[in-house]
Structure 1
Amino acid sequence: MELDLPFIWAGLIAFAVLAYIVLDGFDLGVGILFPFLKNTHDRDIAMNSVAPVWDGNETWLVLGGGGLFAVFPLAYATILPALYAPLTVMLLGLVFRGVSFEFRHRAERSRILWDIGFSGGSLLAAFSQGIALGALVQGIAVDDRAYAGGWWDWLTPFSLITGVALCVGYGLLGSTWLVMKTEGGIAHTARRASWPLAFGTLSLIGAVSLWTPFQDPVYLARWFDWPGVLFSFTVPALVAACAWFLYRGLNEHRDHWPFLSTLGIFVLCFCGIGISFYPTIVPPGITIWEAAGPDESLAFMLVGAAILLPIILAYTGYAYWVFRGKVDPSEGYH
């Protein structure tokens, strides 16, 4: 039986993007919440909670972007020109954030500047990712296998609301992460912040979900024609179940439940986007098979992915296992 290599690679890249969203999302969320933490001690603990894993989390961004370039060159060549501005801002935000990790703990008089760099870089990166997502969902103009839109096509009311939604959602991931990983005053602050963030996240998910089917007739048909209409009931029901466990976890001080429930909400939203997109990779008209490179190249790279992916997964799992449990306030980032 011949393997459908573009389909397999689409799944691998989708998995890499999802892994990046759920893993780097919470440490971007911690950065977004940074200004609302009361004092330097709480900010130190918050940064220490993500310090052992944040750089490993961004491995998935490299894998997703590199995989898109290598496996789906047509998609890469059309998406990048359409989203140069938000993606450039995202990378600058990640740079400022990464530098702040290294400099903040060694600076004294300039620490406030690195606090701003960490928080501002996190917010910029999250907002830019949301705008890029919204611009991709609303569709990219392509003519003769090349980007045919304008410089500002990515900036629309829909992309702005997806940018805000992702910032609020990342904030919820960050606050529930701190609930799970910290104790005392900072955990209390994070738990209190999780309530409005949860309400905002669910409200914005509802708004974006209702708006998305009207971005393209294909989305509308896919969600409301048979058998797609089944997903229109199943996905919201599962999101509601995750929201219920999030509520119970916050209300009953079950520290792991809020974070895991929020991860579930993100995974379901990602699945919803996948249902809307498939089989296109550049909406509205370029499919994964049209965008894929030669089968020989895909097969060659699949061998490398089969070796590297288990290693990355093992390293990631080991890192989270070693640094499991609550953060020790006496430990620092070195």
Structure 2
Amino acid sequence: QGVALGAYIDGFEVVNRRFAGGAFDWLTPFSVFCGLALIAAYALLGCTWLIMKTEGRLQQQMHDLGRPLIFVVLAVTGIVSLWTPLAHPDIAERWFSLPNLFWFMPVPVLVLLCTWALLRAVANNANYSPFLLTLALIFLGYSGLGISLWPNVIPPSISIWEASAPPQSQGFMLVGALFIIPFILMYTAWSYYVFRGKVTVDDGYH
């Protein structure tokens, strides 16, 4: 997923609305690093999930592991955040030109605040806030991605409107989405309800 995301950020060579690149255009140092960065993010997400869902020795091990993982995620996030505008001048112009700089500054500031709060939560052996703060960090990361690429859904130059399906097709898909999304939400809510609380040594399958 991370490699695919890195390749997506790098963009696709399109000529006359057709892909004109090579079979291995996706394999670049940037895309590989994005793959490693996403592994670190998933590791932190899993670590904080176990903090929330377990107790005792395993939970303490995850608290101990959480702190170095937070610094790793912060480091790779910073590297990707610098690498992206350095490799793509149009993204650099979007982020660092005025007045955009002032509009987008809350994103990195919130990343630092969430990281600080996450470190405190892990140090204080909190149960639920580490996972929620990790979700917030991931959300902020994807917010930065959206800011960098919008409105190009196929980087570097094909916008969401140019790539969209005809209105008739969108209307057909909307009907299906309106039908299926409530079931997905209900199933997800029910699964969270069933597996609520912490897993203890006495739990098991029946």
TM-score by length of 2: 0.95
Question: Is 1:309 paired with 2:171?
Answer: no
Residue 215 of structure 1 and its aligned partner are, at CA, apart by 2.7
2: distance between equivalents of 1:230 and 1:261? 24
The gaps in structure 2 that reach 5 residues or longer are none
Is 1:254 aligned with 2:126?
yes
The answer to whether 1:219 aligns with 2:91 is yes
Query: After the TM superposition, which residues 134-173 of structure 1 pair with which residues of structure 2 at under 5 Å, given as runs?
Result: 134-173=6-45
Question: Could you tell me how far 1:214 is from its partner in structure 2?
Answer: 2.3
Distance in 2, Cα, partners of 1:303 & 1:226: 42
Cα deviation code 1:281-332 (max 9, x no counterpart): 1100111111111101101211221222122122212211221110132333
1:206 matched residue in structure 2: 78
2:65 is aligned with 1:193: yes
8 A Cα contact 1:242 1:265, kept in partner: yes
Q: Work out the CA distance in 2 between the residues paired with 1:283 and 1:291.
A: 11
User: What is the SS of the residue equivalent to 1:281?
Assistant: strand
Q: Which residue of 2 aligns with 1:293?
A: 165
SS at structure 2 position matched to 1:330? coil
* Letter of the structure 2 residue corresponding to residue 166 of structure 1: L
Match of 1:133 in 2: 5
| Aligned pairs for 1:16-165 within 5 A | 129-165=1-37
Q: Which one-letter code corresponds to 2:199 in the other structure?
A: V
Measure, in 2, the Cα distance between the counterparts of 1:174 and 1:231: 32
Question: In structure 2, how many angstroms separate the alpha carbons of the residues matched to 1:173 and 1:311?
Answer: 26
> Which residue pairs with 1:330 in the alignment?
202
From 148, 153, 170, the equivalent of 1:276 is 148
Q: Which residue of 2 aligns with 1:245?
A: 117
State whether residues 63 and 123 of structure 2, in contact with CA within 8 Å, keep that contact through their aligned partners in structure 1.
no
The structure where helix makes up a greater share of residues is 1
In structure 1, stretches of 5+ residues that fail to align are: 1-128
> What secondary structure, in the 3-state scheme, does the structure 2 residue paired with 1:319 have?
helix
CA contact 1:173–1:259 (8 Å) conserved in 2: yes
Q: CA RMSD in A?
A: 1.4
Distance 2:17 2:204 in 1: 51
Q: Partners of 1:189 and 1:174 in 2: how far apart? A: 13
CA distance in 1, matches of 2:21, 2:57: 50
- In the TM superposition, what is the alpha-carbon distance from 1:217 to its structure 2 partner? 2.2
The alignment-based identity, stated in percent, is: 48
Aligned residues between the structures: 206
Mapped to 2, the partners of 1:190 and 1:233 lie a distance apart of 32
Paired residue secondary structure (1:230): helix
Selected match of 1:184 from 56, 77, 90: 56
User: Distance in 2 between the 1:257 and 1:138 partners?
Assistant: 34
Whether the 8 Å CA contact 1:142–1:149 is kept in 2: the answer is: yes
Distance 1:232 1:207, change over 3 A: farther
